[in-house]
Structure 1
Amino acid sequence: MQTRKLTLIAGATMMALSANTAWAEKITLTVASFPSFDAAVTAAIPLYKKINPDVEIKLVSLAYNDHHNAMTTALATNSNLPDVMGVEADYMGRFANSSGLYDLRQAPFNSGEIEAKFSPFAVPLAAGEKGQLSGMPADIGPGAMFYRSDIMEKAGVSVEDLTKDWDSFIEAGVKVREVTGQYMMSNVQNIVDIVIRSGIEDGGGVYFDAEGEILVESERFQEAFRLAKKAREAGLDGKIAAWSNEWSEGLRRGDIAVEFMGAWLGGHLANWIAPDSAGDWATANLPNDSWASWGGSYYAIPKSTEHQAEAWEFITFMTTNKEMQLLAFEEIDAFPALIEAQDGPFFDQPLPYLGGQKARLQYKEAAAQIPAISVNKLDPVAKQVIADALESVLERDVAVDKALADAAKLLKRRARRK
């Protein structure tokens, strides 16, 4: 199946790329990535070699944290940089203002000519404060609510109870806890992460507006903290950190009834977290008509590369080729950032693991609704400040108003230092 797909992709792209394949000597393009984003590169290498026989792709992959720490150090020291750098969305926001990465909106890249091809919310996440673009989106993580349908049925909870609004979701969680003993969710932090990103207009920011004004005392944050406190006081969460052993074991055993995550979690559940729970899991849109993104992956080009043209050609191949984008979706559940690739028979297929749902159509709907949120260089700082403020509310019973006011004051001091 994969060989046939690669042949089709080669036929579709050969004419467009053939003019660039007549290089005089062999070139090795080093691509640095991380699991499972690296699997898309692995799948692409045979095809890319067929189209560009004079270009060798050397894939260097490290564990998620090790890779991004290595890239952070490499950018700071301008050493040991690859020709193409894979970057997860959270780090892309941090790297967006890096002087070590090319601005892809400038010549010779001119990414502005193709940016409209991607989900609108994906591109701004890689944009710097001066409008420069440091990465091209390869995949996105439209948010979804994964839930144990068997547990909900036992507790007498409907999908409508879960999705109507957040208070209804919490009330449903009380039923689940009382009837089954399971935790409704891993951590109430998930509610906060969704609600503070809800209701933002395109171009707006989560923690700061376009003029840099701090927004953490706004109604969004007030409501997010109120709901998190209500859910915690009802005993609905296990206070479990995502990606911990306790988290994966909780999902596997069914001790956690709901998890909010990017669409790719469905693949993780089916393939390694809870493969024996096929048919027990289902998915729906987020509560209260909320739309949020969980991560995504980007490609960036360090200025130190000696193969600027080849690096750009490889990136555009990985991000703007419809068949390549769909292949990555099929191989690693990487939902395509390319709008053209968000359609076709693959999306209509029922997913047996999710009880036969055509869940990819739901993910497509979410991708179209997520606002294009702008990033601020202080967003990582603000994220930690808000996490600390939430802990003070949940663990030390600090009033929500005071916790958010203190957070705003702290952010003002941090902003002045910057």
Structure 2
Amino acid sequence: MPTARAARRATLRLGAVALAGALLAACGSGSTGTSADKDGKVTITVDLFGTFGYKEAGLYDEYEKLHPGVTIKQSSTENEADYWKALQTRLAGGGGLADVQGIEVGRIASVTQQQADKFEDLGPLGAKDLQDDFSAAKWAAATTADGRTLGLGTDVGPEAICYRTDLFQQAGLPTDRAELAQKWATWDGYLELGRQYKAKAGAKSAWLDSVGSLYSVIVGQEKERYYDASGKLVYDDNAAVKAAWDLSVKAAQDGLSAKLAQWTPAWNQAFSSGSFATIGCPAWMLGYIKGQAGDAGKGKWDIAPLPGGAAGNWGGSYLAVPKGSAHAKEAFALVKWLTAAEQQAKLFKKQGSFPSNIGAIESVKDVTDPYFSDAPIGRIFGAAAEASPVQVLGVHDGDVNQQITNALGEVERKGTDSATAWSHARKGVENAVG
């Protein structure tokens, strides 16, 4: 094992994951977590995926002002699948881990059931006093069978549809969010409106970004998707999964998709280029859209409730402290502060990440977002969060979803028929689950 000083100097990078800043390696059990850097100051490293929004909302700067001597360095990977793969490599090797690691909700069962020994129990650090701040379901998902708390919830992912009002106007479609909610009260209605859009917009712009994105939103409306309550893998026999698959295939066959794989550079660029008019929009997507479309997109986007007659949830993450952090105590203090009601409320107002902290939910109910045409995001996502199902999460939820959306990508980009693509999805799941 390298010395602590040498480890602090080492800058590690694995795979193709791009760093936003230096990721400082550390070794040790992390059970005390009170060591400081050689100058008496503490650098807390944070490794995330997507756009959590802490830096964009100024929360790191605020925390550093409140805690002189603390510096926060964040690295981030756009694609969660790439992030998770790299994290597994680091957990297996014991090096290169950040003091704080983000965990997507589709991976949390894997952490609590298979990797609990690799993360700090946050209870003794102070989390045991925070349980009442979160919903029972959010808390339970990050708790092991023997009561260890391995993460604190950052947000939840209530869903809506984000759409480009300027593109709708050009295609002669209504732009009023209430009228649209009526027209796409069902998913069939949503696709029918898409066919009308395609007839007017032609090849210039597609109705939606990708059918993988569409599928993820639809299946997010279901309580039971890939596993049942006993932990049995049931995706292949689940009628709800099959219905979501069939509707997504239909959208591809009707030519409604821009055929853009999510988290790719082409997908990112399309937010500002007008390559698609609608996207399934969990609350956290608002911050991502702002980051990709930039100032030029302000006022061109709006938000309407989800089709399908039911609310849904896609995403929602946790912050965890891996064993091996040289600053476990300080890392937990940061996690506690970032997930507190006041900070979650600020993050929603700035980035759209809907709070998982109960105390923040009431305070954001009247929030509107000028970027999204003053949409009442507090009411839209608040209603969706209240009606969303408490989803059954399995050890390989994220892997199953990824294999299915990969197969849907074959349908829209290669013209693979539905049955063949589904067989590829099944094979991919078999390989991923083992």
Above 0.5 in TM-score?
A: yes
Q: Point out the more displaced range, 386-395 or 357-366.
A: 386-395
Where does residue 332 of structure 2 map in the other structure?
312
Where does residue 28 of structure 1 map in the other structure?
42
Q: CA deviation at 1:409?
A: 7.9
> 2:263 & 2:429 partners in 1: Cα distance?
28
> 1:359 & 1:82 partners in 2: Cα distance?
33
1:300 and 2:320 correspond = yes
Q: Deviations over 1:41-96 (max 9, x none)?
A: 9944565456555x624424244457655533321112233333334445545544
Where does residue 5 of structure 1 map in the other structure?
none
From 150, 159, 165, the equivalent of 1:143 is 159
> 1:177 & 1:61 partners in 2: Cα distance?
39
Query: 2:348·2:354 contact (CA, 8 Å) conserved in 1?
Result: yes
1:59 and 2:79 correspond = no
1:329 and 2:344 correspond = no
Amino acid at match of 2:248: A
From 186, 189, 212, the equivalent of 1:189 is 212
From 213, 221, 226, the equivalent of 2:232 is 213
Correspondence 1:333-412 to 2 at 5 A? 333-344=352-363, 347-387=365-405, 389-390=407-408, 395-399=415-419
Query: 1:263·1:335 contact (CA, 8 Å) conserved in 2?
Result: yes
Output the TM-score relative to the length of structure 1. Answer: 0.77
Q: Give the CA RMSD over aligned residues.
A: 3.6
Q: 1:404 to 1:110 in 2, by over 3 A?
A: farther
Q: Point out the more displaced range, 229-238 or 168-177.
A: 229-238
Where does residue 231 of structure 1 map in the other structure?
251
SS in 2 for 1:213: coil
1:73 and 2:89 correspond = yes
1:163 and 2:178 correspond = no
> 2:262 & 2:411 partners in 1: Cα distance?
20
> 2:428 & 2:270 partners in 1: Cα distance?
36
1:39 and 2:75 correspond = no
> 2:180 & 2:135 partners in 1: Cα distance?
28
Where does residue 8 of structure 1 map in the other structure?
none
Q: 1:280 to 1:46 in 2, by over 3 A?
A: closer
Amino acid at match of 1:342: I
> 1:258 & 1:173 partners in 2: Cα distance?
9
Q: 1:382 to 1:323 in 2, by over 3 A?
A: closer
Query: 2:286·2:353 contact (CA, 8 Å) conserved in 1?
Result: no
Where does residue 199 of structure 1 map in the other structure?
222
Identity %: 26
Query: 1:119·1:368 contact (CA, 8 Å) conserved in 2?
Result: no
Q: CA deviation at 1:147?
A: 1.1
Structure 1 segments unaligned to the other structure (5+ residues) = 1-20
Q: CA deviation at 1:391?
A: 5.5
Query: 1:128·1:375 contact (CA, 8 Å) conserved in 2?
Result: no
Q: CA deviation at 1:137?
A: 1.1
Where does residue 256 of structure 1 map in the other structure?
276
Q: CA deviation at 1:122?
A: 3.8
Q: 1:147 to 1:375 in 2, by over 3 A?
A: same
Correspondence 1:101-116 to 2 at 5 A? 101-104=119-122, 107-109=123-125, 111=127, 113-116=129-132
Q: 1:179 to 1:340 in 2, by over 3 A?
A: same
Query: 1:169·1:287 contact (CA, 8 Å) conserved in 2?
Result: yes
Query: 1:137·1:319 contact (CA, 8 Å) conserved in 2?
Result: yes
SS in 2 for 1:86: strand
Where does residue 199 of structure 2 map in the other structure?
178
Query: 1:161·1:169 contact (CA, 8 Å) conserved in 2?
Result: no
Amino acid at match of 1:296: G
Query: 2:133·2:358 contact (CA, 8 Å) conserved in 1?
Result: yes
Q: Point out the more displaced range, 347-356 or 220-229.
A: 347-356
> 2:274 & 2:65 partners in 1: Cα distance?
46
Q: Deviations over 1:88-147 (max 9, x none)?
A: 44554554432210233xx51474543342255544554567775421112333222001
Q: CA deviation at 1:287?
A: 0.7
> 1:413 & 1:83 partners in 2: Cα distance?
31
Q: CA deviation at 1:341?
A: 1.1
From 291, 311, 322, the equivalent of 1:291 is 311
Q: 1:413 to 1:83 in 2, by over 3 A?
A: closer
Query: 1:31·1:86 contact (CA, 8 Å) conserved in 2?
Result: no
Q: CA deviation at 1:340?
A: 1.0
Output the TM-score relative to the length of structure 2. Answer: 0.75
Query: 2:206·2:275 contact (CA, 8 Å) conserved in 1?
Result: yes
How many positions carry a matched residue from both structures? 383
Where does residue 22 of structure 2 map in the other structure?
none
Where does residue 5 of structure 2 map in the other structure?
none
SS in 2 for 1:229: helix
Q: Point out the more displaced range, 68-77 or 214-223.
A: 68-77
Correspondence 1:93-132 to 2 at 5 A? 94-96=110-112, 97-98=114-115, 99-104=117-122, 107-109=123-125, 111=127, 113-119=129-135, 122-127=138-143, 132=148
